[in-house]
Structure 1
Amino acid sequence: MTIRKKKIVEKKMNNNLLPVAKEGFSRIGFTILAFIIFAILDLELLEFFSFLTLIFFIFVYRNPERMIPNFEQMSVVSPVDGVVLSIEELENKEYAYKIEINSSYLNVSLLRAPLSSSVENINIKHGARLSQTSLLSRDINERVELIFQDTHENKIKVSHILKQSFDDIKLDVITKQNLVQGSRYGLMVNGITTIYLPQNFRVNVSIGQELNASQSLVGYFS
Protein backbone atom coordinates (compact mmCIF):
# COMPACT_ATOMS: atom_id res chain seq x y z
CA MET A 1 0.00 0.00 0.00
CA THR A 2 1.42 3.42 -0.89
CA ILE A 3 1.85 6.07 1.83
CA ARG A 4 -0.69 8.36 0.14
CA LYS A 5 -3.31 5.59 -0.15
CA LYS A 6 -2.76 4.56 3.47
CA LYS A 7 -3.29 8.13 4.66
CA ILE A 8 -6.53 8.40 2.67
CA VAL A 9 -7.89 5.19 4.23
CA GLU A 10 -6.90 6.29 7.76
CA LYS A 11 -8.57 9.65 7.19
CA LYS A 12 -11.80 7.96 6.06
CA MET A 13 -11.88 5.82 9.19
CA ASN A 14 -11.11 8.71 11.54
CA ASN A 15 -13.86 10.87 10.03
CA ASN A 16 -16.56 8.27 10.71
CA LEU A 17 -17.53 9.93 14.00
CA LEU A 18 -20.96 11.40 13.25
CA PRO A 19 -24.05 10.15 15.14
CA VAL A 20 -25.28 8.57 11.89
CA ALA A 21 -23.03 6.36 9.75
CA LYS A 22 -22.05 7.91 6.44
CA GLU A 23 -23.36 4.83 4.59
CA GLY A 24 -26.88 6.03 5.41
CA PHE A 25 -26.49 9.65 4.27
CA SER A 26 -28.02 9.15 0.81
CA ARG A 27 -31.12 7.30 2.05
CA ILE A 28 -31.67 9.78 4.87
CA GLY A 29 -31.17 12.72 2.49
CA PHE A 30 -33.68 11.41 -0.07
CA THR A 31 -36.20 10.70 2.70
CA ILE A 32 -35.88 14.25 4.05
CA LEU A 33 -36.37 15.61 0.53
CA ALA A 34 -39.47 13.45 0.05
CA PHE A 35 -40.85 14.62 3.40
CA ILE A 36 -40.40 18.27 2.41
CA ILE A 37 -42.04 17.75 -1.00
CA PHE A 38 -45.02 15.90 0.50
CA ALA A 39 -45.37 18.63 3.14
CA ILE A 40 -45.41 21.35 0.47
CA LEU A 41 -47.99 19.42 -1.57
CA ASP A 42 -50.03 18.81 1.60
CA LEU A 43 -50.02 15.03 1.06
CA GLU A 44 -50.42 14.17 4.72
CA LEU A 45 -50.40 10.37 4.43
CA LEU A 46 -47.24 10.29 2.33
CA GLU A 47 -45.71 12.91 4.59
CA PHE A 48 -46.41 10.70 7.60
CA PHE A 49 -44.91 7.60 5.95
CA SER A 50 -41.82 9.50 4.83
CA PHE A 51 -41.35 10.73 8.41
CA LEU A 52 -41.56 7.16 9.74
CA THR A 53 -39.07 6.06 7.08
CA LEU A 54 -36.72 8.84 8.14
CA ILE A 55 -36.85 7.72 11.78
CA PHE A 56 -36.25 4.11 10.67
CA PHE A 57 -33.14 5.02 8.64
CA ILE A 58 -31.71 7.17 11.43
CA PHE A 59 -32.22 4.25 13.84
CA VAL A 60 -30.72 1.62 11.53
CA TYR A 61 -27.68 3.73 10.60
CA ARG A 62 -27.01 5.07 14.09
CA ASN A 63 -23.32 5.35 14.89
CA PRO A 64 -22.80 5.39 18.66
CA GLU A 65 -19.40 6.11 20.18
CA ARG A 66 -18.27 3.32 22.49
CA MET A 67 -15.69 3.18 25.22
CA ILE A 68 -13.37 0.26 24.45
CA PRO A 69 -12.79 -1.95 27.54
CA ASN A 70 -9.16 -2.53 28.50
CA PHE A 71 -8.85 -6.22 27.61
CA GLU A 72 -5.57 -8.11 27.43
CA GLN A 73 -3.43 -7.85 24.33
CA MET A 74 -4.34 -11.38 23.16
CA SER A 75 -8.10 -10.80 23.39
CA VAL A 76 -10.78 -10.99 20.70
CA VAL A 77 -13.99 -8.97 20.95
CA SER A 78 -17.23 -9.27 19.03
CA PRO A 79 -17.18 -7.54 15.61
CA VAL A 80 -20.97 -7.05 15.67
CA ASP A 81 -23.97 -6.47 17.89
CA GLY A 82 -26.17 -9.55 18.16
CA VAL A 83 -27.01 -12.82 19.91
CA VAL A 84 -24.84 -15.95 19.88
CA LEU A 85 -26.68 -18.58 17.81
CA SER A 86 -24.23 -21.46 18.06
CA ILE A 87 -20.75 -22.53 19.13
CA GLU A 88 -19.23 -25.50 17.34
CA GLU A 89 -15.96 -27.42 17.44
CA LEU A 90 -14.50 -28.05 14.00
CA GLU A 91 -12.35 -30.87 12.69
CA ASN A 92 -10.13 -28.47 10.82
CA LYS A 93 -6.36 -27.94 10.94
CA GLU A 94 -6.69 -24.19 10.55
CA TYR A 95 -9.76 -23.40 12.69
CA ALA A 96 -11.00 -25.32 15.72
CA TYR A 97 -14.08 -23.30 16.73
CA LYS A 98 -16.95 -21.58 14.96
CA ILE A 99 -19.20 -19.00 16.64
CA GLU A 100 -22.33 -17.69 14.88
CA ILE A 101 -23.89 -14.36 15.86
CA ASN A 102 -27.32 -13.22 14.68
CA SER A 103 -27.80 -9.48 14.08
CA SER A 104 -31.21 -7.92 13.42
CA TYR A 105 -32.56 -4.49 12.45
CA LEU A 106 -32.65 -3.65 16.17
CA ASN A 107 -28.88 -3.96 16.50
CA VAL A 108 -26.30 -1.32 15.64
CA SER A 109 -25.18 -2.25 12.12
CA LEU A 110 -21.53 -1.12 12.29
CA LEU A 111 -18.73 -3.68 12.01
CA ARG A 112 -15.75 -3.31 14.35
CA ALA A 113 -12.30 -4.92 14.37
CA PRO A 114 -12.24 -7.96 16.69
CA LEU A 115 -8.55 -7.50 17.53
CA SER A 116 -5.64 -5.20 16.78
CA SER A 117 -4.44 -6.75 13.56
CA SER A 118 -3.75 -6.55 9.87
CA VAL A 119 -6.43 -7.45 7.32
CA GLU A 120 -4.73 -10.28 5.44
CA ASN A 121 -7.51 -11.11 2.99
CA ILE A 122 -10.95 -9.87 1.88
CA ASN A 123 -13.32 -12.02 -0.16
CA ILE A 124 -16.59 -10.46 -1.38
CA LYS A 125 -19.37 -12.55 -2.95
CA HIS A 126 -22.44 -10.75 -4.25
CA GLY A 127 -25.65 -12.72 -4.13
CA ALA A 128 -29.24 -13.00 -2.94
CA ARG A 129 -30.85 -11.76 0.27
CA LEU A 130 -33.04 -14.67 1.24
CA SER A 131 -34.55 -15.15 4.67
CA GLN A 132 -32.47 -16.96 7.28
CA THR A 133 -35.08 -19.75 7.26
CA SER A 134 -34.37 -20.55 3.60
CA LEU A 135 -32.18 -23.61 3.07
CA LEU A 136 -30.34 -21.81 0.26
CA SER A 137 -29.55 -18.63 2.19
CA ARG A 138 -26.17 -19.86 3.53
CA ASP A 139 -25.07 -20.80 0.00
CA ILE A 140 -26.28 -17.99 -2.25
CA ASN A 141 -26.77 -14.91 -0.05
CA GLU A 142 -24.38 -11.98 -0.28
CA ARG A 143 -21.34 -12.42 1.96
CA VAL A 144 -17.98 -10.97 2.90
CA GLU A 145 -15.09 -12.89 4.46
CA LEU A 146 -12.12 -11.22 6.13
CA ILE A 147 -9.00 -12.72 7.68
CA PHE A 148 -7.37 -10.81 10.55
CA GLN A 149 -3.85 -11.56 11.80
CA ASP A 150 -2.14 -9.97 14.79
CA THR A 151 1.56 -9.36 15.43
CA HIS A 152 1.87 -12.80 17.12
CA GLU A 153 0.59 -14.46 13.91
CA ASN A 154 -2.70 -15.41 15.56
CA LYS A 155 -5.28 -15.56 12.79
CA ILE A 156 -9.08 -15.54 12.75
CA LYS A 157 -11.64 -15.47 9.94
CA VAL A 158 -14.85 -13.44 10.11
CA SER A 159 -17.71 -14.09 7.68
CA HIS A 160 -20.68 -11.72 7.30
CA ILE A 161 -23.77 -13.07 5.46
CA LEU A 162 -26.81 -10.93 4.70
CA LYS A 163 -30.32 -12.04 5.54
CA GLN A 164 -33.29 -10.08 4.18
CA SER A 165 -31.87 -6.56 3.90
CA PHE A 166 -32.37 -3.39 1.88
CA ASP A 167 -28.65 -2.57 1.79
CA ASP A 168 -25.38 -4.20 0.73
CA ILE A 169 -22.59 -5.09 3.10
CA LYS A 170 -20.31 -2.04 3.17
CA LEU A 171 -16.56 -2.26 3.83
CA ASP A 172 -14.28 0.64 4.66
CA VAL A 173 -11.05 -1.34 4.76
CA ILE A 174 -8.47 -2.76 2.35
CA THR A 175 -6.03 -5.67 2.50
CA LYS A 176 -2.84 -5.19 4.51
CA GLN A 177 -4.45 -2.34 6.42
CA ASN A 178 -3.72 -2.23 10.15
CA LEU A 179 -6.71 -1.90 12.48
CA VAL A 180 -6.93 -1.13 16.16
CA GLN A 181 -9.27 -3.37 18.17
CA GLY A 182 -12.76 -1.85 18.15
CA SER A 183 -12.24 0.44 15.15
CA ARG A 184 -14.98 0.57 12.51
CA TYR A 185 -14.37 -1.28 9.26
CA GLY A 186 -17.81 -1.51 7.64
CA LEU A 187 -21.55 -1.94 8.01
CA MET A 188 -24.09 -4.77 7.69
CA VAL A 189 -27.83 -4.38 8.16
CA ASN A 190 -29.52 -7.61 9.30
CA GLY A 191 -27.18 -10.54 8.90
CA ILE A 192 -25.28 -13.50 10.36
CA THR A 193 -21.66 -13.20 11.45
CA THR A 194 -19.47 -16.28 11.85
CA ILE A 195 -16.12 -16.14 13.66
CA TYR A 196 -13.63 -18.94 12.97
CA LEU A 197 -11.03 -19.37 15.72
CA PRO A 198 -7.81 -21.46 15.94
CA GLN A 199 -6.91 -24.29 18.32
CA ASN A 200 -4.99 -21.99 20.70
CA PHE A 201 -8.13 -20.02 21.58
CA ARG A 202 -10.21 -20.02 24.77
CA VAL A 203 -13.88 -19.23 24.05
CA ASN A 204 -15.55 -16.96 26.59
CA VAL A 205 -19.14 -16.72 25.30
CA SER A 206 -22.22 -18.92 25.55
CA ILE A 207 -25.20 -19.66 23.32
CA GLY A 208 -27.96 -17.08 23.72
CA GLN A 209 -25.58 -14.42 25.05
CA GLU A 210 -26.13 -10.89 23.75
CA LEU A 211 -22.98 -9.26 22.42
CA ASN A 212 -22.00 -5.66 21.72
CA ALA A 213 -19.43 -4.92 19.04
CA SER A 214 -16.02 -3.96 20.49
CA GLN A 215 -17.30 -4.29 24.08
CA SER A 216 -18.12 -7.99 24.49
CA LEU A 217 -15.21 -10.38 25.00
CA VAL A 218 -15.25 -13.47 22.76
CA GLY A 219 -12.14 -15.00 24.31
CA TYR A 220 -8.33 -15.11 24.38
CA PHE A 221 -5.45 -16.64 22.47
CA SER A 222 -3.41 -18.88 24.75
Structure 2
Amino acid sequence: MDNLGIISKYGYKCVLISGLIFILSWVFDFWFWLFAALFIATLWVYRNPERLPQSEEAKVILSPIDGIVDSIKKCNYNGQSYSQIVIRNRIFDSGVLRAVCDVDELIIKKRSGLNIHSSDSNLNLLSNRVTIMSKKEDIIIRISTSAFSSKIYLENFTHMKSGRRIGFLKDGKVAVLMPLNTRISYSKGDKIKACNVIGYIDE
Protein backbone atom coordinates (compact mmCIF):
# COMPACT_ATOMS: atom_id res chain seq x y z
CA MET A 1 0.00 0.00 0.00
CA ASP A 2 2.82 2.42 0.81
CA ASN A 3 4.43 4.62 -1.81
CA LEU A 4 7.89 5.29 -0.39
CA GLY A 5 9.41 7.46 -3.11
CA ILE A 6 10.44 11.07 -2.59
CA ILE A 7 7.64 12.08 -4.98
CA SER A 8 4.13 10.64 -4.67
CA LYS A 9 3.33 8.21 -7.47
CA TYR A 10 0.19 10.26 -8.17
CA GLY A 11 2.38 13.15 -9.28
CA TYR A 12 4.72 11.27 -11.63
CA LYS A 13 2.91 12.44 -14.78
CA CYS A 14 2.82 16.11 -13.78
CA VAL A 15 6.45 16.06 -12.64
CA LEU A 16 7.54 14.40 -15.89
CA ILE A 17 5.70 16.94 -18.05
CA SER A 18 6.98 19.95 -16.12
CA GLY A 19 10.49 18.46 -16.16
CA LEU A 20 10.44 18.00 -19.94
CA ILE A 21 9.20 21.57 -20.45
CA PHE A 22 11.95 22.81 -18.14
CA ILE A 23 14.62 20.94 -20.14
CA LEU A 24 13.26 22.25 -23.45
CA SER A 25 13.20 25.81 -22.11
CA TRP A 26 16.84 25.41 -21.07
CA VAL A 27 17.89 23.94 -24.44
CA PHE A 28 16.11 26.60 -26.49
CA ASP A 29 16.70 29.45 -23.98
CA PHE A 30 12.98 30.22 -23.73
CA TRP A 31 11.59 31.51 -20.40
CA PHE A 32 14.05 29.30 -18.55
CA TRP A 33 13.49 30.75 -15.07
CA LEU A 34 9.70 30.58 -15.37
CA PHE A 35 9.69 26.88 -16.24
CA ALA A 36 12.39 26.17 -13.67
CA ALA A 37 10.12 27.68 -11.01
CA LEU A 38 7.19 25.65 -12.35
CA PHE A 39 9.21 22.43 -12.15
CA ILE A 40 10.31 23.16 -8.56
CA ALA A 41 6.72 24.03 -7.58
CA THR A 42 5.46 20.75 -9.06
CA LEU A 43 8.06 18.77 -7.11
CA TRP A 44 6.98 20.55 -3.93
CA VAL A 45 3.24 19.95 -4.47
CA TYR A 46 3.77 16.20 -4.99
CA ARG A 47 6.41 15.66 -2.32
CA ASN A 48 5.98 12.50 -0.28
CA PRO A 49 7.43 13.10 3.21
CA GLU A 50 7.97 10.25 5.64
CA ARG A 51 5.88 10.56 8.80
CA LEU A 52 5.71 8.39 11.90
CA PRO A 53 2.60 8.25 14.11
CA GLN A 54 2.95 10.63 17.06
CA SER A 55 1.41 7.90 19.21
CA GLU A 56 0.55 4.23 18.68
CA GLU A 57 -2.01 3.94 21.47
CA ALA A 58 -5.21 2.13 20.50
CA LYS A 59 -7.53 5.02 21.42
CA VAL A 60 -5.59 7.68 19.53
CA ILE A 61 -6.88 9.37 16.35
CA LEU A 62 -4.21 10.80 13.99
CA SER A 63 -4.43 13.64 11.52
CA PRO A 64 -5.00 12.30 7.98
CA ILE A 65 -3.26 15.18 6.18
CA ASP A 66 -1.25 18.40 6.53
CA GLY A 67 -3.14 21.68 6.70
CA ILE A 68 -5.03 24.09 8.95
CA VAL A 69 -7.89 23.21 11.30
CA ASP A 70 -10.90 24.77 9.57
CA SER A 71 -13.60 23.88 12.10
CA ILE A 72 -14.39 21.73 15.13
CA LYS A 73 -18.01 20.97 15.91
CA LYS A 74 -20.63 18.38 16.71
CA CYS A 75 -22.36 16.89 13.65
CA ASN A 76 -24.81 14.15 12.69
CA TYR A 77 -24.28 11.40 10.13
CA ASN A 78 -26.89 8.74 9.38
CA GLY A 79 -28.75 9.66 12.55
CA GLN A 80 -25.70 9.36 14.82
CA SER A 81 -23.87 12.22 16.54
CA TYR A 82 -20.11 12.72 16.17
CA SER A 83 -17.35 15.14 17.08
CA GLN A 84 -15.99 16.49 13.79
CA ILE A 85 -12.70 18.18 12.97
CA VAL A 86 -12.18 19.57 9.46
CA ILE A 87 -8.66 20.10 8.10
CA ARG A 88 -8.19 22.38 5.09
CA ASN A 89 -5.34 21.20 2.90
CA ARG A 90 -3.97 23.87 0.56
CA ILE A 91 -2.14 23.20 -2.68
CA PHE A 92 1.34 23.76 -1.16
CA ASP A 93 0.64 21.62 1.92
CA SER A 94 1.68 17.99 1.60
CA GLY A 95 -1.31 16.20 0.08
CA VAL A 96 -0.45 12.66 1.21
CA LEU A 97 -3.49 11.07 2.88
CA ARG A 98 -2.85 8.77 5.83
CA ALA A 99 -4.89 6.38 7.96
CA VAL A 100 -6.14 7.95 11.19
CA CYS A 101 -6.19 4.66 13.14
CA ASP A 102 -6.22 0.88 12.74
CA VAL A 103 -9.41 -0.27 11.00
CA ASP A 104 -10.07 -3.80 9.71
CA GLU A 105 -13.33 -3.50 7.76
CA LEU A 106 -14.13 -0.48 5.62
CA ILE A 107 -16.94 0.89 3.49
CA ILE A 108 -15.84 3.39 0.82
CA LYS A 109 -18.37 5.62 -0.95
CA LYS A 110 -17.53 7.95 -3.85
CA ARG A 111 -19.57 10.85 -5.20
CA SER A 112 -18.87 13.05 -8.23
CA GLY A 113 -19.42 16.81 -7.98
CA LEU A 114 -17.95 20.25 -8.64
CA ASN A 115 -14.57 21.83 -7.93
CA ILE A 116 -15.21 24.66 -5.45
CA HIS A 117 -12.78 26.87 -3.55
CA SER A 118 -12.03 25.30 -0.19
CA SER A 119 -13.28 28.33 1.77
CA ASP A 120 -16.74 28.05 0.20
CA SER A 121 -19.43 27.08 2.70
CA ASN A 122 -21.10 24.84 0.10
CA LEU A 123 -18.01 22.70 -0.42
CA ASN A 124 -19.29 19.66 1.46
CA LEU A 125 -22.59 19.71 -0.42
CA LEU A 126 -21.40 20.12 -4.01
CA SER A 127 -17.80 18.93 -4.32
CA ASN A 128 -16.28 15.62 -5.33
CA ARG A 129 -16.26 13.50 -2.21
CA VAL A 130 -15.03 10.18 -0.87
CA THR A 131 -16.36 8.84 2.42
CA ILE A 132 -14.44 6.12 4.27
CA MET A 133 -16.38 4.43 7.07
CA SER A 134 -15.54 1.69 9.52
CA LYS A 135 -18.02 -1.16 9.94
CA LYS A 136 -17.08 -1.57 13.60
CA GLU A 137 -15.41 1.59 14.95
CA ASP A 138 -17.26 4.93 15.01
CA ILE A 139 -14.73 6.59 12.71
CA ILE A 140 -15.61 8.32 9.41
CA ILE A 141 -13.29 10.18 7.02
CA ARG A 142 -14.84 12.51 4.43
CA ILE A 143 -12.51 13.85 1.74
CA SER A 144 -13.67 16.74 -0.50
CA THR A 145 -11.90 18.32 -3.47
CA SER A 146 -11.45 22.04 -4.06
CA ALA A 147 -10.55 24.51 -6.82
CA PHE A 148 -7.12 23.08 -7.71
CA SER A 149 -8.01 19.41 -7.37
CA SER A 150 -10.44 17.50 -9.56
CA LYS A 151 -9.64 14.04 -8.23
CA ILE A 152 -9.14 12.20 -4.97
CA TYR A 153 -6.53 9.46 -5.31
CA LEU A 154 -6.96 6.38 -3.13
CA GLU A 155 -5.00 3.18 -2.76
CA ASN A 156 -6.82 -0.14 -3.17
CA PHE A 157 -7.35 -1.17 0.44
CA THR A 158 -9.88 -2.94 2.67
CA HIS A 159 -8.26 -2.06 6.00
CA MET A 160 -6.14 0.76 7.39
CA LYS A 161 -2.99 0.71 9.51
CA SER A 162 -2.46 3.81 11.63
CA GLY A 163 -0.24 6.35 9.84
CA ARG A 164 0.04 4.43 6.56
CA ARG A 165 -0.43 6.21 3.24
CA ILE A 166 -3.90 5.67 1.79
CA GLY A 167 -3.99 8.22 -1.05
CA PHE A 168 -3.39 11.80 -2.18
CA LEU A 169 -5.37 15.08 -2.23
CA LYS A 170 -3.86 18.08 -3.99
CA ASP A 171 -6.26 20.67 -2.54
CA GLY A 172 -9.42 20.32 -0.46
CA LYS A 173 -10.79 19.42 2.95
CA VAL A 174 -10.68 16.28 5.08
CA ALA A 175 -13.24 15.84 7.85
CA VAL A 176 -12.70 13.26 10.58
CA LEU A 177 -15.83 12.20 12.48
CA MET A 178 -15.11 10.63 15.87
CA PRO A 179 -17.11 9.48 18.90
CA LEU A 180 -18.51 12.28 21.08
CA ASN A 181 -16.24 11.22 23.96
CA THR A 182 -13.12 12.11 21.93
CA ARG A 183 -10.85 14.74 23.50
CA ILE A 184 -9.65 16.87 20.57
CA SER A 185 -6.11 18.23 20.88
CA TYR A 186 -6.32 21.18 18.45
CA SER A 187 -8.25 24.43 18.03
CA LYS A 188 -9.62 26.20 14.98
CA GLY A 189 -6.85 27.91 12.99
CA ASP A 190 -4.05 25.63 14.25
CA LYS A 191 -1.56 24.24 11.76
CA ILE A 192 -1.39 20.47 11.75
CA LYS A 193 0.72 17.72 10.21
CA ALA A 194 -0.33 14.26 9.10
CA CYS A 195 0.21 11.64 11.83
CA ASN A 196 -0.09 14.21 14.63
CA VAL A 197 -2.54 13.19 17.34
CA ILE A 198 -5.82 15.07 16.87
CA GLY A 199 -7.80 13.29 19.56
CA TYR A 200 -8.04 10.67 22.29
CA ILE A 201 -11.13 8.51 22.69
CA ASP A 202 -12.05 8.35 26.37
CA GLU A 203 -13.20 5.06 27.85
Give TM-score, length-normalised by structure 2. Answer: 0.89
Distance across 2 between alignment mates of 1:26 and 1:91: 39
Give TM-score, length-normalised by structure 1. Answer: 0.82
RMSD of aligned Cα (Å): 2.0
Q: Displacement of 1:133 after TM fit?
A: 4.1
- The one of 8, 11, 15 equivalent to 1:28 is 15
Distance across 2 between alignment mates of 1:206 and 1:78: 13
Distance across 2 between alignment mates of 1:202 and 1:166: 31
Contiguous gaps of at least 5 residues in structure 2: none
Distance across 1 between alignment mates of 2:90 and 2:69: 12
Q: State percent identity of aligned pairs.
A: 23
Match of 2:182 in 1: 201
Q: Aligned pair in 2 of structure 1 residues 68, 90: CA closer, same or farther (>3 Å)?
A: closer
Map Cα deviations across residues 34-74 of structure 1 (whole Å, 9 max, x no partner).
1222222222x1x3222111111110111111222333112
Contiguous gaps of at least 5 residues in structure 1: 1-12
Distance across 2 between alignment mates of 1:136 and 1:69: 33
Compare the two structures and name the one with the higher helix fraction.
1
Q: Aligned pair in 2 of structure 1 residues 134, 204: CA closer, same or farther (>3 Å)?
A: closer
1:72 maps to a residue whose letter is E
Secondary structure (helix, strand or coil) at the match of 1:194 reads strand
Distance across 1 between alignment mates of 2:67 and 2:200: 16
Distance across 2 between alignment mates of 1:133 and 1:88: 17
- The answer to whether the 8 A contact 1:95-1:196 is kept is no
Q: Aligned pair in 2 of structure 1 residues 120, 51: CA closer, same or farther (>3 Å)?
A: same
- The answer to whether the 8 A contact 1:63-1:110 is kept is yes
User: Is the counterpart of residue 158 in structure 1 residue 144 in structure 2?
Assistant: no
User: Number of residue pairs matched?
Assistant: 202
